[in-house]
Amino acid sequence: MNTRPLTLQRLLQAGISLLLCASAWSQTAPPVAAAAPPAHAMHAPRAQLATGAAFAPDGSLWMVGLDAQQQLSTWRSTDMATWSAPHPLDTHGDAISADGENRPKIAFGPQGQAVISYTRPLDKPYTGWIRMLRSSDSGASFSAPFTVHHDTQEITHRFESIAFDGAGALHAVWIDKRDLQAGGKGYVGAAIYQAVSTDGGETFGPDTKVADHSCECCRIALAQGPDGKLRALWRHVFGTSTRDHAFANLSGSAPNVFKRTTFDEWNVQACPHQGPGLARADATTNPGYHAVWFGIRKEKGADVAAVRYARLSADGQPVAGTVRALPDAQAEHADVAAIGDKVAIVWRSFQGKETSLKAWLSQDAGKTFETRVLATARGNNDQPRLVSNGSRMVVVWRTDEQAQMHELHF
């Protein structure tokens, strides 16, 4: 049978009440994904399949994750069809989180830099440090791991995202609970923090707060704007329990100023473990961004759970008439990429014993879409990752059997 865990969406549709990552808890709750071991390994830990992927400047596709021995490794592809053998990395014995929203990541800089980040879980439940490996020779060799942030309390520093901006500065952005520890019971959710390196990850500036009261365990989406500065989209807690999304310019003069982007008005004391996706739209024909997210909203008196898409303005506001649900009630963990007027959205969808990898493709900047089924799988599988380079878009989807690549042509 397919042992992929039930999502919050499916649990809600089944009428089951679940508090996951409840904001009233002092620490982040464990993800549902940790609950169900594979049928073929009932007495062994479930393999952690979560991976990161990125194109290198030479056009090769890289993937980072845990190999069959659960060691952090990289894979490389030059033909978008086959992977190299895994290349193990020396993490000095670090435990590594590679499940669901909390996955290793890889990013390439403009001067031959390559960086890999991951969360190292600490002894106290649901705590961690953001760790990084740095390369100055395009990934041929990597440094020893180091901690990105300056705060080293045994608290949540998790769910990081990394990206280089247009000026070559490296940004690390993560979910942090130092303010919850300081503020006590009156503090809602967690916070978004960032640190910036201007030397490709060799050193980082101070930990800077982007926003108080973020959701506790949804990934943070990053996209480079037409000015080269990074924008961030994350699930935020508005008021005491409304879990919509916020948008901020991470490189502006006031990075802690953010705007609300989604308006599902979903009131829940829990985190759904489904972060958003963000991609820059064409600056000439369609300035702004493309976004995807999961939420529940009232429609005709009923609660409707869906992954939704919208085009955003340059300051992160939804463009009127563009918000719509993906054409799949079982859609989850969507990602988005755009090249010019071509927009791709991918997601996974569970039906019975089988998970499908699906794509929604647009050639007119998101006005109209066509749906494709790219692959199916049984058993455990990761969330799909969309990566782009020049005119090329590739979906990376890791299953129990293999790490698939699907280049999109449309």
160-176 residue pLDDT tens:
999 999 999 999 999 99
In a domain, 270, yes or no: yes
- 5 in Cβ contact with 100 (< 8 Å): no
124 Cα distance to chain centroid: 24
Range of the domain at 203: 8-407
Who's near 408: CB < 8 A, 6+ residues apart? 344, 359, 361, 393, 394, 395
List the one residue out of 170, 163, 183 whose CA is nearest residue 106. Answer: 163
User: Residue 325 sits in a domain of what CATH number?
Assistant: 2.120.10.10
In a domain, 3, yes or no: no
State how far the Cα of 385 lies from the Cα of 368, in Å rounded to an integer: 22
User: pLDDT (tens digit, 9 = 90+) per residue, 231-253?
Assistant: 999 999 999 999 999 999 997 65
- Check residue 174 and give its pLDDT: 98
Structure letter (DSSP) for residue 179: H
Lowest mean pLDDT among 9-18, 52-61, 194-203: 9-18
Q: For the chain, what's the residue count?
A: 410
State how far the Cα of 63 lies from the Cα of 382, in Å rounded to an integer: 13
User: pLDDT (tens digit, 9 = 90+) per residue, 91-142?
Assistant: 999 999 999 999 999 999 999 999 999 999 999 998 999 999 999 999 999 9
State how far the Cα of 110 lies from the Cα of 200, in Å rounded to an integer: 9
The residue ranking higher by pLDDT, 310 or 12, is 310
- Check residue 185 and give its pLDDT: 74
Backbone angles phi, psi at 13, to 5 degrees: -65, -30
In a domain, 1, yes or no: no
In the chain, what percentage of residues exceed pLDDT 90?
A: 82
State how far the Cα of 231 lies from the Cα of 233, in Å rounded to an integer: 7
Residue 6 pLDDT class (50, 70, 90 cuts) = very low
Place of tokens 């960032």: 194
Place of tokens 């303005």: 313
> What one-character-per-residue DSSP string does 10-45 give?
HHHHTT-----S-TTSSSPPPPGGGG---GGGTTSP
- 75 in Cβ contact with 66 (< 8 Å): no
How many other C-beta atoms are found inside a 10 Å radius of the C-beta of residue 259? 14
- 215 in Cβ contact with 1 (< 8 Å): no
Where does residue 39 rank: exposed (0-12), middle (13-18), buried (19+ CB within 10 A)?
Answer: exposed
In a domain, 28, yes or no: yes
Structure letter (DSSP) for residue 202: S
Residue 183 pLDDT class (50, 70, 90 cuts) = confident
- Check residue 8 and give its pLDDT: 44
In a domain, 83, yes or no: yes
- Check residue 16 and give its pLDDT: 30
State how far the Cα of 171 lies from the Cα of 150, in Å rounded to an integer: 14
In a domain, 299, yes or no: yes
Core vs surface per residue 185-206: b (16+ CB within 10 A) or e: eebbbbbbbbbbbeebbeebee
Domains in the chain, number = 1
Q: What is the mean pLDDT of residues 7-13?
A: 44
Structure letter (DSSP) for residue 384: P
Q: What is the mean pLDDT of residues 364-391?
A: 96
Structure letter (DSSP) for residue 312: E
**Mean pLDDT (the chain, rounded):** 89
Lowest mean pLDDT among 52-56, 282-286, 302-306: 282-286
The residue ranking higher by pLDDT, 193 or 14, is 193
In a domain, 2, yes or no: no
Strand extents, DSSP E, 226-275? 230-238, 242-249, 258-260
State how far the Cα of 329 lies from the Cα of 9, in Å rounded to an integer: 9
Edge to edge, the sheet with strand 342-351 lists 331-339, 342-351, 354-362, 370-377
3-state secondary structure of 194: strand
In a domain, 91, yes or no: yes
- Check residue 4 and give its pLDDT: 42
User: pLDDT (tens digit, 9 = 90+) per residue, 15-44?
Assistant: 333 334 433 333 333 333 333 333 333 344
* pTM for the model: 0.90
State how far the Cα of 318 lies from the Cα of 322, in Å rounded to an integer: 7
3-state secondary structure of 67: coil
- Check residue 254 and give its pLDDT: 55
User: pLDDT (tens digit, 9 = 90+) per residue, 318-362?
Assistant: 999 999 999 999 999 999 999 999 999 999 999 989 999 999 999
Where does residue 182 rank: exposed (0-12), middle (13-18), buried (19+ CB within 10 A)?
Answer: exposed
Who's near 59: CB < 8 A, 6+ residues apart? 78, 389, 390
3-state secondary structure of 282: coil
Structure letter (DSSP) for residue 80: S
- Check residue 11 and give its pLDDT: 41
Torsion of CA 68, 74, 78, 81, to 10 degrees: 30
Q: What is the mean pLDDT of residues 241-270?
A: 88
